[in-house]
Amino acid sequence: MSRICLVTDSLAPSGVGAHMMMLAEGLVGDDIVFAGRPATGLLERAAAKGFAVKMLDDDAALTRWMRRSAPDIVHVHAGIGWEGHAAVRAAHAAGVPVVRTEHLPYLLTDAAQRDEHRDTATALARLICVSDAVGDSYRAAGVDPALVETIHNGVGPHRPSRSRAALRGEWGVGDAPVLLMVARLSEQKGHALLLDALPAIRAAHPNVIVLLAGEGPLLTQTARAIAAKGLAGTVRMLGTRSDVADLMALADLLVLPSAFEGLPLVALEAMAAGLPVVATVAPGNAEAIEDGVTGRLTAADPASFAEAIVTLLADRDSLKTMANAAIERQQDLFSADRMIADTRAVYAAVQDQTDRQPKGDGVERTRIGFIGAGGIANRHFGVLEQFDDVAIVAVADVDMARATEAAARFGARAFDDAAAMLAAVDLDALYICVPPFAHGEPERLAIEHKLPFFVEKPVALDLGTAEDVAAAVDRLGLVTAVGYHWRYLDTVDEVKALLSATPARLLSGYWLDSTPPPRWWWKKDASGGQMLEQTTHLVDLARYLVGDVVRVYGQSGHIDRAAFPGLDVATTSTAMLTFASGAIANFASTCLLNWNHRVGLHLFGEGLAIELTDRDVMIDIGRGRPVRGTGSDPVVLEDRDFIDAVRGGENRIRCPYPAALETLRLALAIERSAVEGRAIDVREREATKEMGHV
């Protein structure tokens, strides 16, 4: 199996993108990753078909990614000659062999663009051209003839969804002649020529209907021209279509008045559909269409174009003969299977030439998958992408667009279903970054696949789910970690050392903040409320620093808030805790503010006062109130410890799943106490049994 990276930096990869998708689908058994620009639709289409995707970065970042991901071939697809050079440079710098496909003839006139093309051509292992005419143009421009190889475009079988009669009935065209043009609305495609030809066509065929499928920079200009010429009753602008096969089935002719082409896929698709083509004599068109046999080639003027169309529409027998000839020519010369096989042969030849060269950077990477691609997942993305020994290879999220955006940072595969991801991708470990209400199934999937997992807090909304997970983790001996990252603050290390000599006797915790924007947070059955979802960090930290809690007493209050319709979590809450050591604590929480007022933990012992936040610490021993900031990123440290443990190194994880289970047990006891209005003895496990969401 080869790892092939298909790249285009085209801003409008319509035909190029279709070619790349067809090629990728035909490279069965190979590992394919698509690299392209965001917001073009290409990466989204590729991800939906199960391919890995990579968003194009600057040259240096792309080089780093190629060096790390170590593709066997980078295949750059250029819609026009000035495209694709950054990808060629990045691959060459990474030591990866590069194949480039030119989809249009050599059209460069700018001196700087000519120089850039000439310079990057020296880095190519092969320059594929989609037609002989395109190849001739690049040889004439000075490209080394030994590099240039023609592989004609190809298309698959024509598969309309319904019969011609049914489709014509649905579109309400009756027996009217129908002309179809499928093309981006740009100067190249020649829509203006078609509109200028229409008066003569309508004179001979008054009921003719023209279907224009496509969008582009000339959309508004074309619409205005149609109105100005009085053609609104004849021409229908359809926009971008996914049912081109159906449009071809109902049409009588495909029209292609292009100024230039490489080898137009739409013409080949029409031939496969048995739809004759009338096109201008551009080199690419002339290579696809056999004039008078499979269609007509005309001069690029309205009169000639109109005459060819009028003549063919008047001769139904010729249309039928041309349709059969077009099908035969497409199958003989322009099949997708042939294009894919020829491209595979180029890959094999290039790999034979480069197999003796080392690939990649030689680092063995831990393959990570993510379930959830929201805010906290992005925090881990930013950390893990800095680790040389980690590769994020798959992302699952119920929002496929979000999964795709995340996957495209890494050249990963995107899924909207976690089970499908785990069935399709080999992983070494899993990150579970989902809202509280979604816990349970992701952990069960990790256990089913015997995968170490990192999970964000809280680990569940009920003890039953968390206890089942903990039991399975213990049974299998899985490496686990939970995102209570306060445990990793270097200031916490300092505090922990101080408390070993001077134990804390009193603690006060505060989470005085605004209401988070996600609507699920507002609902108790989705988030668990502020104590479970936010203040849990401080409760866990208190356990980590002071030890087990034996008794809790909670109180909570709620007010309706017009700005947060449906909010039913407690808007204020307090908790009093008694530790096994005899220390006591109180925690205060509110989400009523419109700002972050205070989040932290204060600890007091004999002759010792500490104020701790996630940004700094103040340690007061009666000699002033010195404050120092944190010196390290706790998320980096917790991720590093998890990865090291997964890789078989020392297990330094500070909060494995069983420890987080005990924090959940404590938080649920506080919640139950607030509901029942009494103190809860945490040592009585039945005290925190399931209670509604608990």
Is residue 648 a part of any domain in this protein? no
Q: For strands 480-482 and 584-593, give the pairing.
A: unpaired
420 and 563 share a domain?
no
* pLDDT tens-place string over residues 266-308: 999 999 999 999 999 988 899 999 999 999 999 999 999 999 9
Q: Is the pLDDT of residue 117 over 90?
A: yes
3-state helix, strand, coil in the chain (%, to 5): 40, 20, 35
What is the end-to-end Cα distance of the chain in Å, rounded?
49
462 and 515 share a domain?
no
| Portion of the chain with pLDDT greater than 90, in percent | 93
Is residue 642 a part of any domain in this protein? no
Report the pLDDT averaged over residues 420-445.
Answer: 98
Residue at a domain's end among 448, 482, 516? 482
Report the pLDDT averaged over residues 13-39.
Answer: 93
Is residue 209 a part of any domain in this protein? yes
Contacts of 472 (CB under 8 A, 6+ apart): 444, 447, 478
Is residue 641 a part of any domain in this protein? no
Q: Is the pLDDT of residue 688 over 60?
A: no
The residue assigned the tokens 């009585």 is: 684
Residue 124, CB half-sphere, CA atoms under 13 Å: how many? 27
379 and 474 share a domain?
yes
In this prediction the pTM is 0.88
Q: Is the pLDDT of residue 134 over 70?
A: yes
Is residue 694 a part of any domain in this protein? no
* pLDDT tens-place string over residues 38-48: 888 999 999 99
Residue 11 or 445, more confident: 445
* pLDDT of amino acid 354: 78
* pLDDT of amino acid 687: 44
678 and 536 share a domain?
yes
pLDDT confidence of 359, banded at 50, 70, 90?
Answer: low
Is residue 361 a part of any domain in this protein? no
Is residue 639 a part of any domain in this protein? no
Consecutive H or E run containing 60? helix 59-69
Residue at a domain's end among 452, 482, 512? 482
Query: Containing domain of residue 493, as a range?
Result: 485-634+653-688
Residue at a domain's end among 482, 498, 531? 482
Strand order in the sheet with 390-396: 413-415, 390-396, 366-371, 429-432, 453-455, 480-482
177 and 273 share a domain?
yes
* pLDDT tens-place string over residues 71-91: 999 999 998 999 999 999 999
pLDDT confidence of 673, banded at 50, 70, 90?
Answer: very high
315 and 199 share a domain?
yes
For the chain, how many structural domains are there in total?
A: 4
522 and 396 share a domain?
no
Is residue 359 a part of any domain in this protein? no
* pLDDT tens-place string over residues 504-552: 999 999 999 999 999 999 999 999 999 999 999 999 999 999 999 999 9
3-state secondary structure of 65: helix
Asked if 323 and 6 count as a contact pair (C-beta separation under 8 A), the reply is no
540 and 514 share a domain?
yes
CATH of the domain at 375: 3.40.50.720
* pLDDT of amino acid 360: 66
